[in-house]
Structure 1
Amino acid sequence: MVKSNVHASKGRKIIYMFLIAAIVMLILESGSMAEASGTITAYPAPANLPSAYASSDFAVTAQGSQVAVYNAGSNAWGNAVSYGAFDMSGSVTVSITPNAAYGSYKLVPQSLGLTGTRSGNTISFTLDHPANVSLVLDGNYQGKVLHLFAQAPETNIPGSSDPNIIYFGPGYHDLGGPGSTPIYLASNQTLYIAAGAVVRGRVRANDVSNVTIRGRGILLNDYTANDAHGNITMALNFAANSKVQDIIVNNNTANWTSAVHGSSFLNITNYKGISPKFASSDGFDINSSHDLTFDGLFIRSADDSVAIKGLSDETEPARALPIYNIEFKHSQLWSDANNAIGIGAETVAAYVKHIRFQNMDILYNYDDRYHPDVLPDRSAINIFALNATHFSDIVFEDIRVEKAKRLINAQMDTSFYFGGLQGNWSWPGEMNGITYRNITSYSDGTNEIKLAGWDNQHQISNVLFENVVINGNQVADFNDPHFNINGYANRIQVKSASGTAKTRFNASDQFTAAQGSDGWHYSTRTGGGTAVDMNWNVDGSNHWRGPNTYDAIWNDSGSIYLHPDNNQAVLEWQAAKTGTVRITGRVKKGATGGGDGVKVSLWKNNTMIWPSNGQWQTIAYNDATGIPHVITAAVTQGDTLSFRVDQITNSAYDTTSWNPEINYQFNNVFNAAWDMGYLQGTRGWYYRVWRSGIGTTPMSWNPDGSNHWRGPGTYDAIWNGPGTMYLHPDNSQAMLEWAAPKAGTVRVKGLVKKANTQGGDGVNVSIWKNGSMVWPTNGQWQTIGYNDATGVNHDFILSLAQGDTISFRVDQRANSAYDSTSWNPIITY
């Protein structure tokens, strides 16, 4: 009986398990695990709303109630963008039914953790809290997309009878098209657009204070007036102590959506901007303003989503308004062109400082509808300076990038968008103190991280990359292939779980009580003897002390002091990695009351490298100005640089100030695909053809609207694709050429393979230095078979003089049919 009961019990358990599984399957098929118990308020579209503003691409319900869906206009690819909104509390179930067939769907951002379930064409998911959710079908971010705004219930709703309130209740309100006057707000006034209201027109608040623009309704602009009021849909100019809250701004024009200029102490919260029309439809422009807070925004734009600009009638930045104290947080951005986060390109401002972007989801970022992969200065997170000014204390923190062409760009340049904007570097300027912390990219783009300073007087410095994760891999050091850093960027750190990678080593800043910390050692040396470690603080002086009475090394007021005593006081630094370093500093007397001076020198291992004549440099007893040094040296891991101070005849008053700084110089990386531009010579790259008996002929940019460099033949071309260059010959060799900006040794690396494998007879390829073939090394062109999609690698070293050229050539064989060839050379000093 017991045995039988056990079997029966097991049988019942099996039946129960099947029943539970069946119930679960039924629930899953119905679209949600359990009926959510929250409440929603949905606002119907105005009965008199013109049909062009309503969307039939998606049907949406929340807790079973229909949500109005609006048509924001068409994006750069001609596909309609839809949006809707409702208020909610508790946990609610949302169902979306696209009106067209689709294969897959995605609910973004990923940070919400929404997967949803599908039943037929309907997608259902549960929201436990208010959030902005976007639906992407079949992975097509350029297709028809729905943006849905689930908001907390509105509070403190104003009355319609207050004389200081301009009130628009539910319904469609058309203020008129071109020729109409925008709504102008006076100080202490409120514009309120109620949920369920659509107001077609523009809004202005000029030279005012204490104004409020709010409400859950829609401000809509779909015309370009070109009048004295300007074409921006919502603009606050020289406004102070004001706020924008909850409003939805739908801009369906190729003009900016919303902007502030010369304004201060503004709060913009829960703002939604949708402006899909290509292009110049920036989402929110922040011009020459300060003390602004943006919290909980959603911006979908066909140009920069957020743009912080220095716009001024002044030509000299120092005379222009500054930009400072701007905080942007808890928001979502989507840009169909240019940048999601953009600081610049216009930078006529006295300075730009104290800027924070925190807890952001970048849903999408593309570079340009008509010029994809041609504008290498566009990125998800961008600082672009055209005019020399001072950038400092800029932080990007807790930012998640879903899909973008490039990840990070900080760049100084002289022109923007095919010369549409011109810059000026006549004034002082730098970018100093930029932090990228907790940046996570899920993107399938290049994920390039570029830092490009302008020259020795305009550099990018003190940059921190902390916990940058790209597709699950943490960026750990400067060998990461995503970095593209030029020689005018320095003092950079990478912090990761594996430690901190540094490029800057400053003797004073890194002075410690531990030998070897950051590579620094404190020692003495006699004559031709070896270095002997000093001891720390043996006499309570917080000095490193040698074996004699006065030999010591210590730190004070931002400088290292060295004192010899019958032996040399030696500050040493050991290289943790191989590279080229720039060694700067100034050595001078610290005590000028007497004595006979000191002699100083800098050594690499056992060879004096400064002074260059091999003779020690004398510093007179009273020389408080001293001698500066700037030395560039190649170091191998384990090499030692020794900063030595020796007495002359005695050590009286021999305290010597010397604070050397060692900076690794970035190997200038020249990546053909990343660097491609629309001008010959951009980053040293040239686009040409070569033909026997004729020689070299420059190609022309984009004569047929194809975003290609074109030669004289029908099909000879060079163009850019995702992560590679393409070359096609046509009775002439297609020739990608690069001119060396400086003398040095370079590594030339790449993979050449057929891009079009459908036919033809293959191509011949080679690499030339000036007029001589350097690859293949046998002097014979390398043949790439017509269907060779694997290709051939090259990786070799060349010594170059400034101005030497390296030519990457593709030639047809018997004919040029199907001769498109993939080749992305990377040249590294």
Structure 2
Amino acid sequence: MKTMKPLFILFLAAFCLPVQAQLLIYPEGLRTGMPHNDDYTVRVRVPGEEWQDLFEYNVQVDMDKVQNASMVQFDMSSAVEVMVKKNNGTVREVAIRPLNNKVTYKQVQNTIIFTLDKPQYLSVEFNGDRLRNLHLFANPMETETYTKEEKGVIYFGPGIHRPKDLPNNQIRIPSNTTVYLAPGAVVKAKLLVDKAENIRIIGRGILDHPIRGIEITDSKNILIDGITVVNPDHYTIFGGGTTGITIKNLKSFSCKGWSDGIDMMCCHKVLIDNVFMRNSDDCIALYNHRWNWWGGTSDITVQNSILWADIAHPINIGGHGDPDSPTGEVIENVTFRNIDILEHDEDDPPYQGCMAVDCGDKNLVRNILFEDIRVESIQEGRLFYVKVRFNPKYDKQPGSGIDGITFRNITYTGIGENPSLIQGLDKDRMVKNVTFENVVINGEKMKDLKGISTNEFIKGIKVK
């Protein structure tokens, strides 16, 4: 019997271990004070179990004519079924994007049902309506949670948080701090990280209508993971003069002027991974000197993400620099990999480009890689834009040059956009060494520069 006792204890322990949740629905506190959109009824379940209702948020998109779209969220660790019912009008067609995810569905009258086998971010669109669509965010399960304030942890629980008596309606985060926004938390303030280090902003909560979502300046070693930023007055995330930023699982909406997604100025060693950005200005912009920051920009990776520019560029590199410097500043070693661009809509030609390398203000831009990029739609704009320019609205000096841009495994299906553009400024400010490799447009591989607007100030352009 003595030899059996340890086995019996192990047997009991196996049955006492907590079972990991397969599906997490956020608590009722999430609904408090947040506007609801009744365009859709959305439910989710583990296959074979009961359906659970989700709260359909109202989120505003598209600065041209602000529209009310919908958004739902949940966490999952194994396969789930999703039911989406369109509450008004008939359903003639359905698109679930990114199309590369290949989500299949079954339709019963005005309802569709589909299965997700892994976390992913989707736009569900009925009858071609991309302005009043449903944004569905199936998040991975959280691996770190808190239930109260403790040493080194600022905690926001379910419900509305509107901090009072804060300068500029902002919360300053000290070094060596974790800020946790619990599922169901709605924080109506900006989070400011300034001259600080070792800060983590995590959770499944929401920053709602802040002046800026998160501002990171003169800091290092910052993590942002899992939160959603809804309609900030300015940037979703602004980085200035900071080294070591990681942004993961971020979701963002904006519908106002200057409401960029993620803007970095003179930042280094940045990883942006698995984000969904729907913005009414640049989704991601990388700049050099502006305001109080100098020192160039380097070692940036953006990957596994979805970008949707209702206005301006999905990707913009090269503006703002130090025109008073004897040599200018450098933006270098930047990678965009495995990106779905769902929309690019910009009616002003100087600011067009899904993938824009727009070099001004004495900057030198070099060693940039665009790889595995899928562009689904261009309302107005260009696919590629690579230009050394002088724009007096923003620049005091022209750009210094562009050297070493690779576009690899790029696909686009569409018609009616403006021609792509590759242009230097003069013989001293040229575009050099641009490679197009396996670029497929409307099912045909790119073989030459036919249809691309060029000039005599380019050198070493290759099409493979």
User: Which letter does structure 2 place at the counterpart of 1:364?
Assistant: E
Question: Do residues 166 (structure 1) and 154 (structure 2) align?
Answer: yes
| Greater RCO structure (CA 8 Å; 6+ sep) | 2
Question: Do residues 477 (structure 1) and 453 (structure 2) align?
Answer: no
TM-score by length of 2: 0.88
* 8 Å contact kept, 1:72–1:83: yes
* 8 Å contact kept, 2:359–2:365: no
Question: Do residues 65 (structure 1) and 65 (structure 2) align?
Answer: no
Q: How far apart, CA to CA, are the structure 1 residues paired with 2:351 and 2:154?
A: 43
* 8 Å contact kept, 1:387–1:424: yes
Per-residue deviation, residues 634-674 of structure 1 (Å, max 9, x unmatched) = xxxxxxxxxxxxxxxxxxxxxxxxxxxxxxxxxxxxxxxxx
Partner of 2:22: 39
Question: Do residues 127 (structure 1) and 116 (structure 2) align?
Answer: yes
How far is the alpha carbon of 1:400 from its aligned partner?
Answer: 0.3
Alignment partner of 1:334 out of 291, 299, 308: 308
Per-residue deviation, residues 270-306 of structure 1 (Å, max 9, x unmatched) = 111121x132110111111001111111111011000
Q: How far apart, CA to CA, are the structure 1 residues paired with 2:86 and 2:264?
A: 36
Q: How far apart, CA to CA, are the structure 1 residues paired with 2:62 and 2:165?
A: 22
- Please, which moves more after superposition, 441-450 or 283-292? 441-450
Alignment partner of 2:225 out of 220, 230, 245: 245
SS of equivalent to 1:83? strand
Where structure 1 has 5 or more consecutive residues not aligned to the other structure, the ranges are 1-37, 223-230, 496-829
Change (3 A) 1:380 1:47: closer
Question: Do residues 148 (structure 1) and 124 (structure 2) align?
Answer: no
Alignment partner of 2:270 out of 292, 298, 321: 292
User: Which letter does structure 1 place at the counterpart of 2:111?
Assistant: T
TM-score by length of 1: 0.50
Per-residue deviation, residues 571-615 of structure 1 (Å, max 9, x unmatched) = xxxxxxxxxxxxxxxxxxxxxxxxxxxxxxxxxxxxxxxxxxxxx
User: Which letter does structure 2 place at the counterpart of 1:172?
Assistant: I
How far is the alpha carbon of 1:173 from its aligned partner?
Answer: 1.5
* Equivalent residue runs for 1:601-680 within 5 Å: none
Q: How far apart, CA to CA, are the structure 1 residues paired with 2:344 and 2:165?
A: 31
User: Which letter does structure 2 place at the counterpart of 1:107?
Assistant: I
* 8 Å contact kept, 2:318–2:365: no
SS of equivalent to 1:46? helix
User: Which letter does structure 2 place at the counterpart of 1:89?
Assistant: S
* 8 Å contact kept, 1:453–1:488: yes
Change (3 A) 1:92 1:445: farther
Where structure 2 has 5 or more consecutive residues not aligned to the other structure, the ranges are 1-20, 46-50, 323-327
How far is the alpha carbon of 1:376 from its aligned partner?
Answer: 4.4
Question: Do residues 89 (structure 1) and 71 (structure 2) align?
Answer: no
Partner of 1:486: 455
Change (3 A) 1:256 1:177: farther
Partner of 1:720: none
Change (3 A) 1:179 1:306: same
SS of equivalent to 2:320? strand
Q: How far apart, CA to CA, are the structure 2 residues paired with 1:78 and 1:357?
A: 29
Change (3 A) 1:66 1:452: same
* Equivalent residue runs for 1:433-448 within 5 Å: 433-446=404-417, 448=419
User: Which letter does structure 2 place at the counterpart of 1:40?
Assistant: L
User: Which letter does structure 1 place at the counterpart of 2:366?
Assistant: S
How far is the alpha carbon of 1:445 from its aligned partner?
Answer: 3.8
Change (3 A) 1:474 1:122: same
Partner of 1:6: none
* 8 Å contact kept, 2:61–2:310: no
How far is the alpha carbon of 1:189 from its aligned partner?
Answer: 0.8
Question: Do residues 461 (structure 1) and 450 (structure 2) align?
Answer: no
Question: Do residues 406 (structure 1) and 382 (structure 2) align?
Answer: yes
How far is the alpha carbon of 1:178 from its aligned partner?
Answer: 9.1
* Equivalent residue runs for 1:413-428 within 5 Å: 413-415=389-391, 420-425=393-398
* 8 Å contact kept, 1:377–1:409: no
* Equivalent residue runs for 1:305-454 within 5 Å: 305-313=283-291, 320-348=294-322, 350-367=329-346, 372=347, 374-404=348-378, 405-415=381-391, 420-425=393-398, 429-446=400-417, 448-454=419-425
Partner of 1:215: 203
How far is the alpha carbon of 1:160 from its aligned partner?
Answer: 1.9
* 8 Å contact kept, 1:75–1:81: no
* Equivalent residue runs for 1:552-571 within 5 Å: none
Partner of 2:18: none
Count of residues in correspondence between the two structures: 430
Change (3 A) 1:421 1:355: same
Question: Do residues 55 (structure 1) and 37 (structure 2) align?
Answer: yes
How far is the alpha carbon of 1:354 from its aligned partner?
Answer: 0.2
**Rg larger in 1 or in 2?**
1
User: Which letter does structure 1 place at the counterpart of 2:343?
Assistant: Y
Q: How far apart, CA to CA, are the structure 2 residues paired with 1:379 and 1:196?
A: 37
* 8 Å contact kept, 2:237–2:261: yes
* 8 Å contact kept, 2:62–2:311: no
Q: How far apart, CA to CA, are the structure 2 residues paired with 1:162 and 1:463?
A: 52
User: Which letter does structure 1 place at the counterpart of 2:54?
Assistant: V
Per-residue deviation, residues 371-398 of structure 1 (Å, max 9, x unmatched) = x2x4244111111122122111100000
How far is the alpha carbon of 1:443 from its aligned partner?
Answer: 2.9
Q: How far apart, CA to CA, are the structure 1 residues paired with 2:287 and 2:69?
A: 27
SS of equivalent to 1:421? coil
How far is the alpha carbon of 1:118 from its aligned partner?
Answer: 1.8
Partner of 1:236: 216
User: Which letter does structure 2 place at the counterpart of 1:210?
Assistant: N
Change (3 A) 1:365 1:70: same
Q: How far apart, CA to CA, are the structure 2 residues paired with 1:134 and 1:205?
A: 32
User: Which letter does structure 2 place at the counterpart of 1:433?
Assistant: G
How far is the alpha carbon of 1:444 from its aligned partner?
Answer: 3.2
How far is the alpha carbon of 1:138 from its aligned partner?
Answer: 2.3
Question: Do residues 199 (structure 1) and 181 (structure 2) align?
Answer: no
Q: How far apart, CA to CA, are the structure 2 residues paired with 1:107 and 1:434?
A: 32
Alignment partner of 2:92 out of 100, 103, 124: 103
How far is the alpha carbon of 1:159 from its aligned partner?
Answer: 4.7
Change (3 A) 1:305 1:390: same
Change (3 A) 1:378 1:178: farther
Change (3 A) 1:136 1:80: same
* 8 Å contact kept, 1:296–1:330: yes
How far is the alpha carbon of 1:60 from its aligned partner?
Answer: 1.1
Partner of 2:256: 278
Partner of 2:7: none
User: Which letter does structure 1 place at the counterpart of 2:352?
Assistant: R
Question: Do residues 303 (structure 1) and 286 (structure 2) align?
Answer: no
How far is the alpha carbon of 1:39 from its aligned partner?
Answer: 3.4
User: Which letter does structure 2 place at the counterpart of 1:57?
Assistant: D
Per-residue deviation, residues 740-768 of structure 1 (Å, max 9, x unmatched) = xxxxxxxxxxxxxxxxxxxxxxxxxxxxx
Change (3 A) 1:257 1:137: same
